[in-house]
Structure 1
Amino acid sequence: MLELRAVNAGYGTFQALFDVDLDVRAGEAVGVIGPNGAGKTTLMRVISGLIRPSRGSIRMEGTDVVATPPHKIVSLGIAHVPENRRLFPQLSVDDNLKMGAFMKEARSHYAERLEVVFDLFPRLKERRHQMAGTMSGGEQQMCAIGRALMSNPKLLLLDEPSAGLAPVVVQQVFELVKRIRASGLTVLIVEQNVQQVLKVVDRAYLIEAGTIRASGTSAEMLASDTVREAYLGV
């Protein structure tokens, strides 16, 4: 479904990604793990078109993502839930969800997608008229994911969904990821909480200093001495 080959990217003169190769197949959940500053968020931004690679190719179901205007990348079926959620805090839950259905093709299926989101996250239906900024961290994460789902994506990008949340809420967020997976959606998730994310993905990539250092199934990554010593404390 998604294919990155020799992707280089950065900000001005600073290079954050070096020759990154990555694949996500339809129907699977893939994790990207690594320390702060490793390039995980840059990777997500490159895929969703927020920044352009300086070199390399990105294809979504055969379509050249790099050649696609940024505002049309969502039309390829890619939806990005950014780090720290980036909701519109002064708007209601309903209005935030409407922002996710801004594309013409999504607007025509608005009511249908809204039902899907409310079925997945009943709490949002209860809070639909509440200002998004007044909700708890976990509820805001539901709203951010729900907003992304309003475009009826094929691939959901989740950037650090547990960041800044209390431990009990982190558990709830990973339960949300499991439910999204069960709905059949393909997921690429960037996460520092290595132990938790390896429980919900099929495969994972380890990125350090902008370079893919290792990859494998969840079981292989959990068994890796490098991952265990550096990220699991064992």
Structure 2
Amino acid sequence: MAGTEVGGATGSGAGRPMLVVSGLEAGYGGFRALHDIQLTVAAGEAVAVVGPNGAGKTTLMRAISGLLAPRAGRVDFEGTDLTTVPPHRIVERGIAHVPENRRLFPRLTVEENLKMGAFSPAARPHFAERLEWVYSLFPRMRERRLQVAGTMSGGEQQMCAIGRALMSKPKLLLMDEPSAGLAPVIVDQVFDLVRRIRQEGFTVLIVEQNVRQVLELVDRAYVLEVGTIRKSGTAAALKSDPAIREAYLGI
């Protein structure tokens, strides 16, 4: 059953549909984590999926990026169903995934980690150009380029993980809990980075528990609870919704 729409279903009207998730069911073993998920992201939009721990947010991201095969439903990206496409081919089509807990190669340098983000045949010829572009976005990564990634702070590692995803110059950037486990001052820096990425024109789908801050960044959001979309709407409408304010904003 579809969730309640708050403030309109399509939100900002940023552009044509880029990602359309319809009737998505996914899980692990005998456990079904997602139930009939309906979700869209238009070109140029930033859309959030918010909800408590265990709601199925990471499962959703893994199903979109091909790391988890859905049990039913479709994930259409620019008109192509991705549910049978291997993960590396999904990257080549223009989707990059910043996973939960960063998942860097801890014994490789920052620059070696960034290089891994440009492994696809289409990205390799542009490695030097894209590396320079990522360094312009994240000057601290240039300073740390020869440092072993596992020795950096959590915030720096998150910056590196985002930079690695951007090395493929994706059409759609998936970000799974980018603020998780970070000190409040570092969380502010990470959200500033997301804001800068938006200003660069990227289309973003972000999963977050930090509802208050993420609703300041995105155009629209979906509320995922117990594997089901309970509400959706513009960020402004959700911020003013009494149920959302009580459950997630502490107001």
Corresponding residue for 1:93? 110
Which amino acid in 2 is paired with 1:82? P
1:126 aligns with 2:126: no
Aligned equivalents of 1:208 and 1:145: distance in 2? 26
The CA deviation at 1:136 is 1.1
Deviations 1:158-204 (A, max 9, x none): 00000000000000000000000000000000000000000000000
Aligned equivalents of 1:129 and 1:76: distance in 2? 30
Q: Percent identity between the aligned chains?
A: 69
Counterparts of 1:122-201 in structure 2 under 5 Å?
122-201=139-218
The CA deviation at 1:230 is 0.6
The SS at the match of 1:20 is: strand
1:36 aligns with 2:58: no
Which amino acid in 1 is paired with 2:142? K
Aligned equivalents of 1:212 and 1:69: distance in 2? 26
Corresponding residue for 1:75? 92
Aligned equivalents of 2:95 and 2:29: distance in 1? 25
The SS at the match of 1:45 is: helix
Which amino acid in 2 is paired with 1:102? F
Corresponding residue for 1:17? 34
Which amino acid in 2 is paired with 1:122? P
TM-score, length of structure 2 as denominator length: 0.92
The CA deviation at 1:76 is 1.1
The CA deviation at 1:71 is 2.0
Aligned equivalents of 1:226 and 1:45: distance in 2? 28
The CA deviation at 1:70 is 2.1
TM-score, length of structure 1 as denominator length: 0.99
Counterparts of 1:213-228 in structure 2 under 5 Å?
213-228=230-245
Corresponding residue for 2:14? none
Aligned equivalents of 1:71 and 1:183: distance in 2? 24
Aligned equivalents of 1:109 and 1:182: distance in 2? 22
Of 119, 123, 127, which residue of structure 2 is paired with 1:102? 119
The CA deviation at 1:12 is 1.0
Tell me which stretches of 4 or more aligned residues in structure 1 moved more than 3 Å. Answer: none
The SS at the match of 2:97 is: strand
The CA deviation at 1:229 is 0.7
Aligned equivalents of 1:227 and 1:76: distance in 2? 35
Corresponding residue for 2:7? none
Structure 2: gaps spanning 5 or more residues: 1-17
